[in-house]
Structure 1
């Protein structure tokens, strides 16, 4: 326990290239997760994120098995390909809200089953296999950063172009469709954006805990503000604090960052719920005066 939070060791590790690469990749992921998160919460897509993560895991496992390693980038490409396929399936097959959960459950089970099989067939190290489940952010190098950077720019650019109609369609899809908003293609498009972000999160916090970045910070932000813009800004801040703080805290003990990321995210969520509760008490007290 004496080295659990060794500040001197942590400072030395922060000077290493692989740690700096991990921090840069995590910062990009936090930006994307925070930007998409409020819309995910508004559209009630938390379960869809989990289902997408399953096929991102399947794609990454397939990349490992096929040996498509080119400067360490094959896992990211496989994860993105799997997540995009999942997003398209969920966006197309789950168009009706009444059948969305069942479609997600079907895709989730399929992705997990195939991914487990592919991982079992992979002859490499067990540590590499485990990294897909709980994250392996310290393995990110400069070539991986290029994938993160390009993906981040692409997601944010598309989001900026469609944000207003997407926000309208997320808040009230029926009225938006009546007003001429192309809801039919905005839904799968947003699903693809979420899929790319989910794929990036698989290597950082792992398939099992990707919700900690894509949902929890946004859910916390939505507790303290009803403004979509402020919710996005807060979600980005919360996601950055969680993922960067998780990396820094995990350095000295040398454990996977996912435990710290989820703990920080959950703590932020609890604080925001407390703030919401206290605000409600104050409004009730003022109303009774």
Structure 2
């Protein structure tokens, strides 16, 4: 355990990952907001499918010696466009994802097998790693984050309506196909950002788990997104802060923090439900007592 944790140079390491912490916070905001619609539209499987092609794009970029982040984004966009265009309905969407996932994973494995560089670069694409994000890279991440936030802001209300009651929304004239494609592309951008922090295998911990935890404790259309963002930022930034004092990738810490938040929210929800059931059980008894007393008072 002493070899695993070493916080002796923590202050110096913290200065080196200043930009990485900002990037993780941005990812938490994006993941938290996008995750709300992932839950409402039941697209958890889509997140994993897009991550596989994002991994393939990043692996291809690594093999070709170009920007890995750009390759990740391009792979995600291709997957998002295909899923959005071919799978408007949930059943069709899952079928498309089921076809794309093994294809993307196979391509990624092939590109990594052909890559002759450092093994750490290969491993990082799958499980994430702590790196010092350069100013240019941070600018790239900020730009993508702004695109996602602005896109979500523009479609938030109609997409919420469509996600909550698709039949009525379509009857009112909302363009379900267009909204599906636009959101899936925004989801693809969010996935590409997450892959760069936690790796392709563990993207669900930032784009699914925080929102799932938020919906466990509230159904408010305002509070749920806020809690989802708080949970995602806590997981991403907290994972980096803990991982700085270890010799392992950040993903185990990000996923553990995210999972613990979900467990706490689930236990809290269960406790509230039990209290609600208890109060409901007491109400008939109280009414029965009142009724009996009134009958006794009658002559």
Q: TM-score range by the shorter chain?
A: over 0.9
Q: CA RMSD in A?
A: 1.3
Q: 1:90 & 1:173 partners in 2: Cα distance?
A: 18
Name which of 21, 33, 36 aligns with 1:35: 33
What corresponds to 2:289 in structure 1? none
Q: How many residues align?
A: 282
Partners of 1:90 and 1:103 within 8 A in 2:
yes
Q: 1:105 & 1:153 partners in 2: Cα distance?
A: 30
What corresponds to 1:67 in structure 2? 65
TM-score for both structures, normalised by structure 1:
0.94
Name which of 56, 72, 77 aligns with 1:79: 72
Change in CA separation of 1:118 and 1:2 when aligned onto 2, cut-off 3 Å: closer
Q: 1:126 & 1:8 partners in 2: Cα distance?
A: 27
Q: 1:218 & 1:3 partners in 2: Cα distance?
A: 35
Change in CA separation of 1:182 and 1:234 when aligned onto 2, cut-off 3 Å: same
Runs (5+) with no aligned partner, structure 2: 283-299
Between stretches 6-15 and 187-196, larger displacement belongs to 6-15
Structure 1: 4+ residue segments shifted above 6 A: none
Q: For residues 12-33 of structure 1, what are the alpha-carbon distances to aligned partners after superposition, in whole Å with 9 as ceiling and x for unaligned?
A: 32122xx111101101100100
Partners of 2:129 and 2:251 within 8 A in 1:
no
Q: 1:142 deviation in Å?
A: 1.4
Partners of 1:87 and 1:188 within 8 A in 2:
yes
The secondary structure found in structure 1 opposite 2:88 is: coil
What corresponds to 1:208 in structure 2? 201
Partners of 1:119 and 1:129 within 8 A in 2:
yes
Q: Within 5 A, what are the aligned runs for 1:1-289? A: 1-2=1-2, 4-16=4-16, 19-68=17-66, 74-289=67-282
Between stretches 122-131 and 28-37, larger displacement belongs to 122-131
Q: 1:32 & 1:99 partners in 2: Cα distance?
A: 26
Q: 1:137 & 1:89 partners in 2: Cα distance?
A: 31
The secondary structure found in structure 2 opposite 1:138 is: coil
Q: 2:96 & 2:176 partners in 1: Cα distance?
A: 19
Partners of 1:10 and 1:248 within 8 A in 2:
no
Runs (5+) with no aligned partner, structure 1: 69-73
The secondary structure found in structure 2 opposite 1:228 is: coil
